[in-house]
Structure 1
Amino acid sequence: MKLRRSALMGSAATLLASFALGAGVTGASAQDADSDFDMDLEEVTVTGSRIVRRDLTAPSPISTVGAEEFQLTGAQNVEQVLATLPQTIPGFGGSSNNPGDGTATVDLRGLGSFRTLVLVNGRRYLQSRQSGTVDLNTIPSTLIERVEVVTGGASAVYGSDAMAGVVNFVMKDDYEGLEVSGQYDTTIHGDAEKYNIDATMGGNFADGRGNATLFVNYAKRKSLMQGDRKFSTFALGDDLSNTDAQDEFGIGDGLVAGGSSGIPGTRVFGGPTLPNGDNLGRFNPDGSGAPFTAADRFNYAPDNFLQLPQERWMASAMAHYQINDSVRMYTEATFVSNKVPQELAPTPAFLGTLEVNPDSPFFASDVQTALDGIRTDTNGDGIVDGDDNAFLPFIGRRMVENGPRQALDTRDAFRVLVGFDGEIGDGWSYDVSYSYARVDNFQFLKNDVSDSRFRQAVLVTDDGTACQDDSAGCAPLNVFGAGNISQEAIGFINISATNVTEIETQNLQGIVSGTLGDWTGAGEVGLAIGVEYRKDDSAFTPDTFLASGDVLGFNAGEPTVGGFDTYEVFAEMALPLITGAPMAENLEASLAARYADYSTAGSVWSYAAGLTWAPIADISLRGQYQRAVRAPNVLELFQGNANGFPGAVDPCSDANPDAVAGNAALVSLCEATGVPAGLTGQFTQANTQIEGIFGGNPDLFEESADTYTFGAVITPEALPGFTMTVDYYDITIDDAISTLGGGVNNILDICYNNVQDLSSIYCQAITRRSNGDVDTVFAGNANIGQVKTAGVDLQMSYGMDVDFGFFEGGSSLDFNFVGTHVINNEVTPDLFVGTVNDCEGTFGNTCGEPDPKYRFNLRTTMTNGPLQLSLNWRWLDSVEDDQIKNGGLSASDLPVPTLGAENYFDLSFTYDVNENLQMYGGARNIFNNKPTFVGDSQEQANTFPETYDAIGTRLFLGARVRF
């Protein structure tokens, strides 16, 4: 076994250090053990710092993912590996269809992807959204040397966005030769295939003073529909009355085949009474009326992607040239074209106060009679008679005749960087660089429906052959019964749309680093000082239909245009205090500070102080305090109002036991906000998703965080090859930027269960329909109360030689363990209200993605001659529905109160056929584990598909040829 350390040549600004021990994820060593290892110790830059030094001391918790991990997992996209790290909560990925936007993100500590700064070679990279996040699809996994993860806040070192930490991708930039590789990936069902082909070529020039490296990649991912798996065939919902044994589709044990109240036969909310005494709840194909039952709900699941298709072209070039002994020029260029479609069920057309003609032949006689009784004076002649129309209070029509809604996100992005670095003399060096990046996102939407044209086409003449308003070529639209819409009507109401987002970023920075001499007799004092200028500009231009709100299927949105720039000055110091003394083999302090002047948020400070202490050579202790800040991004400041449909529970519906019990204060407030008298706790909300209105706030100010980390690194001389790190982290974010109240579900909860004040900002954000259902909830951006998280990370690595193997010469075994214990994860939407949402160990509509209290990865790798075998075990602790902690419900109130612990095992191999050819392959989720079925508290596909594998066992095989 060999301990591998590397230093990227040249740049003092480039993040380095940490070690890769064996394959997989390892911790960073704060200190070397006296070792038998073959190692050349060079001057390196410690991850999380810009100071060049001769040791690997790091006051912040660090993890390193080696290049081997991407190969052993068969990862085509970077997020496939990062999402499984215990320090992360999965962000968007290949199964994020709704919600989703075609990007892949990383979310450290579950604090939000916009609070995780993603760097490439220590510098800011391509932004994919107006929130400033990086699409991991734009980073080629094959070109990665390693990934360095610093958790616990790093704003003082790297600036805003590093509230939760930094993920830095160190890329191969000094390549010689040609390497071509290809990989095929499929499931045991023979579907959801993935293809990947890439080539890397490079060489030295000018007698070795320069090197150029070129990388090209093509990747394709095929679609898989939710209907292609029994697990996700039906959209499941909660119903405790269903006590049947659960079948293979998840139906039973409190779950039913649910779905949407927007149905092909048209759902009527609050409809008139039919002659037979039933309420008009829906329409039969012949236009007659019938009551609506839960069995009528529309199953939208089969029309959604379980794996999003993707097609990606990528090219990257890097070069450096040593002009003279003091100046080296380097450059990077990247181009990415990424296409990711999304597909949703046909448009659910929900419309209020829909005007119809009771005499229309679209209606059978029973409906005509019922509608005749609710005519109003629509022609304004002062008389209600047969010449007047009627209004249906609210309807939901699933437009299956119009086909599924389809979206195609095409992101064309490029980035160029040029820089100079070198030695100044006397141990001092410099690094100056400038980068420009641009992303053009074209989103094409198909098969939506115009609200205004829908209303125009439904209102027809008495004979049903023409629209009462026949302008613009109106064709009569018969939505009153499944299958009744003509192609002419589809042609009139169908709309497509094109949205364009343009993002430009510029970054100029200069750094000088070196030593100030030995002040204490313990070693050279390190110093790095620098300046940075950043400018972000972006514009989202929605299609005219979306901007006007004249859409029924896709989320309407207004333009978002804005930008900011910032001038920043920063400095770091590493101050050795004691070395080689009893109980003080090494003692060193570190300091950092950054001043930033934002054109939007004004002046802000961030700073850090840390201490590392090694009482003996085998043990090093480390601690750090950081004051981190994050200025609001373009989206948070300037987003035009847009709608979305998150999962939420209406406290006034029969889903709330307090409402059913007749809580007087709750009943009074529900009625004051629009629930008809006597209906509180008596109605079932129309859908598990509730429409939210989201938008920017130019009055936002920066959020700040206090971060404490304490840890130890153990490298015992008596056990060569063993390293253990344990770190405690505690992060508190004040004035956190989020949606009002923390989201739609929180707003409803705070209004009805906590504040219970009609005049409060939370209750005023809620509007209801005439039948009592929530219509919309305004959840604009705001500086909310607090976000807190705390926990412990444990990392262990050990390597040993053994005598057995398939080939002569024995084998080496490497064990790598990374685990996290989440002690606390809570959100306080409003400090004055005092509501605290505890999210550790939970899942659901309030807390979102599961956050298991305990989770770990254990990779065991055997290397024997040309063969390498590796087994990875990923374990996730059980989690409970957040309504138990935060909603006052008991486990007996919920059909799925907990999701059990999950074990995933992945097996892989590499085999060097000869010095030019390597074969590799493996299987992920080899036991084909399926997640627990989830009803109303799911994200999508009856589970959380970025956390739990809903697709099944995958097989991959690849080859790599080197010349």
Structure 2
Amino acid sequence: MNYKNPYRKSAIALAVSSATMMSAGMSNVAFAQDAETATALEEVIVTGSRIRRPDLASVTPVSVVSGEEFKISGNLNVEQKLAELPQTLPSFGPSSNNPGDGTARVDLRGLGTARTLVLVNGRRYIPATQTGVVDLNSIPGSLIKQVDVTTGGASAVYGSDALAGVVNFQLIDDFEGVEISGLYDVASEGDAEKVNIDLTMGGNFDDGRGNATVYTSFSKREAVYQGERDFSQFALTENSDNTALVPGGSSGIPGTRVFGGPTLPNGQTLGRFNTDGSGAPYTSSDAFNYAPDNFLQLPQERYLISAMAHYDLTESARLYSELAFSRNQVDSELAPTPWFTTLPVNPDSPFFAPDVQSALNGIRSDTNGDGVINGNDNATLSYIGRRMVEVGSRQSLDTRDGNRILVGLSGEINDVWSYDGYYSRSVLDRIQVQNGNISRSRSLQAALVTDDGLACQDPSNGCVPLNIFGEGNISAAAADFIRIGAINVTSITQEVWQGSVSGLVGSLPTTDQQIGVVAGLEYRKDFSRFQPDTALSSGDVAGFNAGNPTVGGFDVTELFTEIRVPLTDQVEAWGAYRYADYSNIGGVSSYATALSFAPTDKMRFRAGFQSAVRAPNVAELFSGGGNGFPGATDPCSADGFDPASTDAALCAATGVAASQVGVFSQANTQIQGLFGGNTNLSEEESDTFTLGAVFQPTENLDITVDYFDIQIENAISILGGSVNNVLDICYNQVKDINSAFCQAVTRRADGQVGIVNVLNENISSLETSGVDLNIGWTKDLDFGLGGEGSTLEINSKATYLLDFDVTPVAELAGTNECAGSFGNTCGSPLNELIVNTRVTWNTGPWGFTGLIRYLSAVDDDTIATQDANRADILVDKLDAEIYLDLAATYAFSDDFSVNFGVNNILDTEPTQIGDQQEQGNTFPSTYDLLGPRVFLSANFRFR
């Protein structure tokens, strides 16, 4: 017999959901019920509130991406499709080699991935890092039913981490049959291949009381190096007179760079070594081109297994569960290790030609402590940079194993009240294997040799003499002696208990529509541990950034409620409140309220205000500290000095020779920073205001326009907001050697910046505002292929960014106005206008679609943040770009279809830039560098 569906059509089914309305148990109806009920329920499932409502009637702006969008665009990695949305800023993805950590992320409004909450079926998913972000690689793309993107603070509804908004992946959970799908994607140059194979099986059982769905997937992505594209094969920089981009690179060179070296007999300064050990001056043309060894597309192997099931125990109780496992391996690769150090050497070593021996003899010091300087003493090179090409490239092999189990019970208490409760446990284990490192201590030991060069002065540990004085001079045995690997291990655990009730509590006299309410309790516990390799944490490894252990966690108990009040048939009020008690920061509150007014059935206006909080995560609190090398400009150098603002005396007081202030060249465009946690951090606070309108003038046309304004106070970031900001604030703004910013800067003996200490702080504020416009239009046409009719559909999403302001220090007047800018201060391009328009024509078994993406031009951020003269900047802007993707689908039957397409068919390339780049002479997560991509996918279903 047919089992009676407990989720029958009722007022509550159309108005109110349980606290996890998008769960496996409530998101779809798989049993005997009329089509009208199924349609109504399917229509109202959106994110942004736990109370169900149609998408266009949502009180907060919601953008929906259908599962079909992923299929027709050939996107193997879901973050690439989300990065196309105007509301997002491209974050870590397939091109994130350095910076990057193997994860794929989504960043709403450019406010940071840690401020974007990612949910799956309305619940928290597997955290991939100690910041709590979700790796989108772990989400099964072929199971996506739709993705709801809610922008603006949503902490009152979903809890911490939702300051920028929520991205909710709704997965198919009631599959019947067997479906096999495959994708092959390749660049027009015949490389950068991607392969994906999915298998989905599911069916009902026990006369329709239950359903089980199992999904497996394998995908592989091949590597592409920067050297394989003309655009990125050289690391570009501005030339000395700022008239052209020229090949640049690092001062750590295979021939060993000497900073402040002694004078050679010919009167030249020792700047580098020739292969025979003789000396030569260093020029900018000697810089090492590190670009070719870096990935432009990271290789990846990914395995996913998911299982979802639900079973109706009674007419008012449904048991449901979700299981997920993911293994994701993403490798990154960098050029061989650049070793920078102060180096003791033996001037009598045969590694040096006579001219160098003579120069080094003049700088011997009493290294043996006998009170006499003679041939028994060594010399010290104050600072050198050696690119260890003989050791090989640096590789980071990241493997993340994630698993999650969830069990829950939901159902109806009576005709107007329902309940839902669940428990989930997520575990992530990350193993990072690093190759191509060298040991600092062994390298120092091996470089200091005896007079004959056949042995180390310190022969311990089987020391092998190391000749770094000239390109190619390191022997295989010496390379083996200094080579060192590292293995870092991270484990993350998250547990969530949640229970809630929802229902209807009558109506006001002014309307027959009922008031909907939700109330619930949630307990969450987060704990993680990062254990770096001993050699890495000790600082002995040169090649990868050093890091210390990070161990910590917290738990939080939260009470939440939500209410929808129809005031009249045209006016509706909505509110939400959440109180959270954290073990580390205490009690915090979030609330939200909104009002909508529909004077006609074709028009709706909405306004909302949300006050949200975000508690600091484990990494922000407990990170043991580590090194990084972001792009930055030293204000005391020739390139950074501004006579009108830079304090020359302060430059001298902090270690720059007075005669070199504003004269010396900065050794590298990257400056080392020390990053780490701070247990004294407090919560971030944000206010979000939205004002919008929904127009549906005809049945086939809908238009939404929404203004947003998001302000975040006490934003958690590093000191000053960036290494570059700290240097600018110290020397150009506060100009006080005792300030925290100047105290954070440490210079080397040669005056170059050695390191900038930038631990986490609650800095001042972030603010962004803009306007979103969404247009959807559908038209049935009388003509089509094969004499049949057809359907034309146009969907366009656009965002105009009005402001993106960062105030890194509250007590300073300076605010970085970053809208429409890019660079070392503002980061990735913040385009003022982004438009994403898809046109689809369906006719018979055919479907044709085109996606046009427009990114407006952006300026070098020094124009807005430092009042730089545009005429003095070589690449003052990145031009506007247009991308065109085309695809066609043919359905041989209801169960077999093929999809073919070409992405970036116009072969659009970005504007090349120099020192303000992220990597690859551009921002590869924002702009395409691989050229056109051709893909073919097929889908076959057995019923």
Q: TM-score of the superposition, structure 1-length normalised?
A: 0.94
How many residues were matched structurally?
917
Shift of 1:14: 3.6
Residue 13 (structure 1) aligned to one of 5, 14, 19: 19
Instruction: Give how far 1:12 is off.
Output: 2.3
Report 1:652-671 matches (<5 A). Answer: 652-658=636-642, 661=643, 666-671=647-652
Inter-partner Cα distance in structure 2 for 1:68 and 1:509: 31
Give the drift of 1:40: 4.1
**Pairwise CA distance, 1:16:** 5.9
**544, 547, 566: which one pairs with 1:554?**
544
Distance 1:381 1:400 in 2: 38
Aligned to 1:651: 635
Q: Distance in 1 between matches of 2:581 and 2:15?
A: 32
Residue 155 (structure 1) aligned with residue 161 (structure 2):
no
The letter of the residue matching 1:13 is A
- Find the aligned partners of 1:665 and 1:237 in 2 and give their Cα distance: 23
What is the Cα deviation at residue 442 of structure 1?
Answer: 0.2
SS at match of 2:712: strand
Residues 108 and 151 in structure 2, CA contact (< 8 A), matched pair in contact too = yes
RMSD between superposed Cα atoms in Å: 1.7
Gaps of 5+ in 2: 1-12, 24-35
Q: Deviations over 1:142-201 (max 9, x none)?
A: 110000000011000000000000000000000000100111100111101000000111
Aligned-partner Cα distance in 2 for 1:417–1:553: 41
Aligned to 1:251: none
Match of 1:621 in 2: 605
How far 1:921 moved relative to its partner?
1.4
- Quote the residue 1:889 is aligned against: 868
Distance 1:862-1:55 versus aligned 2 partners, 3 A rule = closer
> Residues 862-891 of structure 1, C-alpha deviation per residue, up to 9 Å, x if partnerless?
000111100000000000010111123212
For residues 46 and 679 of structure 1, the distance between their equivalents in structure 2, rounded to whole angstroms, comes to 62
Where does residue 697 of structure 1 map in the other structure? Answer: 678
Out of 853, 875, 888, which is 1:874 matched to?
853
Equivalent pair of 1:879/1:900 in contact (CA under 8 Å):
yes
Code of the residue aligned with 2:483 in structure 1: it is N
Distance in 2 (alpha carbons) for counterparts of 1:121 and 1:152: 20
Which range is displaced more, 693-702 or 43-52?
Answer: 43-52
Whether 1:403 aligns to 2:395 is: no
Match of 1:945 among 905, 908, 924: 924
Deviation for aligned residue 1:255: 0.4
- Is 2:16–2:50's contact at 8 Å kept on the other side of the alignment? no
Matched with 1:484 is 473
Residue-by-residue CA offset, 1:598-644 (whole Å, 9 max, x unaligned)? 01111100111110111222110111111100000000000011000
Structure 1 CA distance for aligned equivalents of residues 646 and 843 of structure 2: 71
**Structure 1: which amino acid aligns with 2:153?**
G
Match of 1:609 among 584, 587, 593: 593
SS at match of 1:715: strand
Aligned 8 A contact 2:593 2:609 in 1: yes
Instruction: Judge conservation of contact 1:861–1:871 (CA < 8 Å) in 2.
Output: yes
Q: In structure 1, what is the Cα distance between the partners aligned to 2:385 and 2:251?
A: 7
Residue 275 of structure 1: SS of its match in structure 2? coil
Separation (CA, whole Å) in 2 of partners of 1:878 and 1:520: 54
CA contact (8 A) 2:56 2:694 kept: no
- Distance verdict in 2 for CA 1:497–1:537, change over 3 Å: same
Check 1:268–1:682 CA distance in 2 against 1; reply closer, same or farther (3 A cut).
Answer: same
Residue 664 of structure 1: how far off its partner (Å): 8.5
1:925 aligned to 2:911? no
Higher mean alpha-carbon deviation, 817-826 vs 889-898, is at 889-898
Shift of 1:37: 15
Give the whole-Å Cα distance in 2 for the aligned partners of 1:875 and 1:916. Answer: 35
- Partner residue in 2 for 1:899: 878
* Uncovered stretches (5+) of structure 1, i.e. residues with no partner: 1-6, 18-35, 244-253, 580-585
1:10–1:422 contact (8 Å) kept in structure 2: no
Aligned AA (2:914): G
Alpha-carbon spacing, 1:879–1:804, altered in 2? closer, same or farther (3 Å): same
SS at match of 2:568: strand
Residues 498-509 of structure 1: pairs in structure 2 closer than 5 A:
498-509=487-498
Distance 1:173 1:39 in 2: 16
In structure 2, the CA distance between the partners of 1:236 and 1:664, relative to structure 1 (3 Å rule), is closer
> Which of 546, 559, 567 is the equivalent residue of 1:569?
559
Contact persistence 2:646–2:732 (CA under 8 A): no
SS at match of 1:871: strand
The secondary structure found in structure 1 opposite 2:660 is coil
Q: Is the 1:280–1:290 contact (alpha carbons within 8 Å) kept by the matching residues of 2?
A: yes
Q: Tell me, what secondary structure is at the counterpart of 2:431?
A: strand
The alpha carbon displacement at 1:500 in A equals 0.2
Query: Following TM superposition, by how much is the alpha carbon of 1:13 offset from its aligned partner in structure 2, in angstroms?
Result: 2.9
1:46 Cα offset (Å): 4.6
Q: Which stretch has the larger CA shift, 279-288 or 52-61?
A: 52-61
In the alignment, the residues of structure 2 paired with residue 555 and residue 505 of structure 1 have an alpha-carbon distance, to the nearest angstrom, of: 27
The 5 Å alignment of 1:396-475 reads 396-475=385-464
Contact in 1 for aligned 2:97/2:298 (Cα 8 Å)? yes
1:520·1:576 contact (CA, 8 Å) conserved in 2? Answer: no
Tell me the SS of whatever aligns to 2:104.
coil
Distance change >3 Å, CA 15–CA 858, structure 1 → 2:
farther
Partner of residue 747, structure 2: 768
User: In 2, Cα distance between the equivalents of 1:119 and 1:777?
Assistant: 36
Deviates more, 1:669-678 or 1:851-860: 669-678
Note if 1:526 corresponds to 2:532: no
Residue of structure 1 in register with 2:822 after alignment:
843
Check if 1:380 corresponds to 2:369: yes
Contact 1:46 1:56 in 2 (8 A): no
Q: What's the CA shift for 1:521?
A: 3.4
Counterpart Cα distance in 1 of 2:876 and 2:613 = 37
1:44, distance to aligned residue in structure 2 (A):
4.2
Contact 2:580 2:589 in 1 (8 A): yes
**Structure 1 counterpart of 2:339, from 349, 354, 360:** 349
Q: How far apart are the structure 2 equivalents of 1:922 and 1:208?
A: 39
| Structure 1 CA distance for aligned equivalents of residues 237 and 485 of structure 2 | 31
Q: 1:129 to 1:532 in 2, by over 3 A?
A: same
Question: What does residue range 707-786 of structure 1 map to in structure 2 within 5 Å?
Answer: 707-716=688-697, 719-786=698-765
In the other structure, the counterpart of 1:130 is 130
1:807 match: secondary structure: helix
- Rounded to whole Å, the distance in 1 between the matches of 2:763 and 2:42 is 46
Between 108-117 and 364-373, report the one with greater CA deviation: 364-373
SS at match of 1:521: coil
Look up the SS of the partner of 2:420 in the other structure.
strand
Q: Secondary structure at the match of 1:709?
A: strand
Amino acid in the other structure paired with 1:589: A
Deviation at 1:39, TM superposition (A): 5.7
* Inter-partner Cα distance in structure 2 for 1:393 and 1:520: 84
| TM-score when normalising by structure 2 | 0.96
2:806 equivalent in structure 1: 827
Shift, 1:38, TM fit: 12
1:60 counterpart = 2:44 = no
1:915 is aligned to 2:894: yes
Q: State the Cα distance separating 1:425 from its structure 2 match.
A: 0.6
Partner of 1:28: none
Distance 1:96 1:845, change over 3 A: same
Residue in structure 2 matched with residue 97 of structure 1 by the alignment: 97
Equivalent of residue 637 in structure 1, options 599, 616, 621: 621
- Residue identity opposite 1:806 in structure 2: L
Conservation of the 8 A alpha-carbon contact between 2:16 and 2:504: no
C-alpha distance in structure 2 between counterparts of 1:468 and 1:184, whole Å: 58
Select between 193-202 and 53-62 the one with higher mean Cα deviation: 53-62
Shift of 1:487: 1.0
Task: Write the distance in 2 (CA, Å) between the matches of 1:636 and 1:756.
Answer: 29
In the TM superposition, what is the alpha-carbon distance from 1:909 to its structure 2 partner?
1.3
- Native 8 Å contact 1:14 1:45 kept in 2: no
**Which amino acid letter does the alignment assign opposite residue 158 of structure 2?**
Y
Q: Are positions 1:329 and 2:307 aligned together?
A: no
Counterpart of 1:689 in structure 2: which amino acid?
Q
Mapped to 1, the partners of 2:179 and 2:17 lie a distance apart of 26
Q: CA deviation at 1:240?
A: 5.7
Give the superposition deviation at 1:94.
Answer: 0.1
Q: Is the 8 A contact 1:303 1:345 kept in 2?
A: yes
Is residue 320 of structure 1 aligned with residue 310 of structure 2? yes
CA–CA distance in 2 between the matches of 1:287 and 1:822? 57
Alignment of 1:68-107 (within 5 A): 68-107=68-107
CA contact (8 A) 1:77 1:141 kept: yes
